[in-house]
Structures are given as C-alpha cells and as structure tokens.
Amino acid sequence: MPKKVDHARRRLDIARVAEGLVYDKGMDGLTMRDVARGMGCSLSVILHYFESKLDLLVFTHRLVRHRAEAGLVKALEEGQPARACFEHLLPLDEQRWRDWYTWLAFWGMSSQAGEVASEHVAATVESADIFLRIIRHGQARGEIDTAFDAAALAIDMQILCNGLAGLVAQGREAWPAERQLAHFRRHYAALIRR
C-alpha cells in the first residue's frame, strides 16, 4: 500500500526550507534545486507542490507573515496592553529577526508579478486591520485616548514598527533588544500622548 502524504504539511515543510535558504543566501541566491536538496528529494517533487520559485516565495512570505500576525493576535486575545502587543512584532529575538529578514527581502521584489502585488496588498490590509484592533483594544482599556483617530494611529504604529525594523536590518549589532524597546517605548508614548 502506498504511503499517505499530507500535502499541506509537505508544502509547509518546503516553505520552511525555503525560508532558511532565503535567510542564508537571500532571495536571489535561492534556487529550487537548493530547496530540493534541503528537503532531501528531487526537483520534480518540489515542482509538484510549487509551480515556480515565485510561487514558493509568495507562499513562504505568507507563511512567515501569518506566523507573526498570529503572535500579535494571541497577545491581543490574552488581553495584553496595547504597547506589549506591538512589541511582539519587533525583531527582538532570533525568530522575529528571521521573520523580518524574510519580509524585507520580499518587499524588495517587484510588484510587476501579479502574485507579488496581491501578496503585498494582502499583507498591508491584514496587518493594518490587526494594528487597528490593537489600537481600539488600547482605547477600550483606557491606555490610549479615545479622542485619537484609531485608523491614523494604527498607521503611525506601522510606520514606527517598520521603521525600527529597517534600522535593525541596517545594523543588527547596533540594535540589541534593549535599545529597540527603549526607542519603541519613547516613540509609542509620544504618539499616544500628542
């Protein structure tokens, strides 16, 4: 009897190998053959699950994005303060740094390809929604003044998180967790008290 294969699990496993290779070699250095080698299978197996490198990269980006979004949502559902929810997104540890590395590499891809443009839009819309939920959560808890425009403040928070991560990407050694948190908290406090 042939062995049953969990196809969804296999796609995830392939994407995780691709994620590691993107971290080690960058987007341009990633090849489908490297992914096959990393999986210990043939190239044809990889191509059975992903039509192209672009298809695999979009799926990998989505996987990493959903993992990070899940952390934010979990913090929100646990009732953590708004500031603490946002801090779950910062590249404070190795896993979150790897996530940011993958996102930043993907952001550099041209939106000419329909799949990339669609993923860029989905990422922007879904993260904006989560940021807005966190701001409203903070307002409901009395941490953030309800007079503030929640949608505008959510955009400010995206700019703050993305900007800080961009600085970390330019010189990770100069931005240990303590420094990231100090800068984030100072700017966060200024944003919610203006």
Q: What is the pLDDT of residues 53-69, one digit of tens each?
A: 989 999 998 999 999 99
Distance CA 169, CA 173 (A): 9
CA dist 186 and 79 (Å) reads 22
Q: Residue 1: pLDDT above 60?
A: no
Tens of pLDDT, residues 172-183: 999 999 999 999
Give pTM, 2 decimals.
0.86
Domains of the chain: 7-193 (1.10.357.10)
Cβ neighbours of residue 78 closer than 8 Å, sequence gap 6 or more: none
Q: Which residues contact 37 (CB under 8 A, 6 or more apart)?
A: none
pLDDT of residue 3: 64
pLDDT in tens, 112-134: 667 888 888 888 899 999 999 99
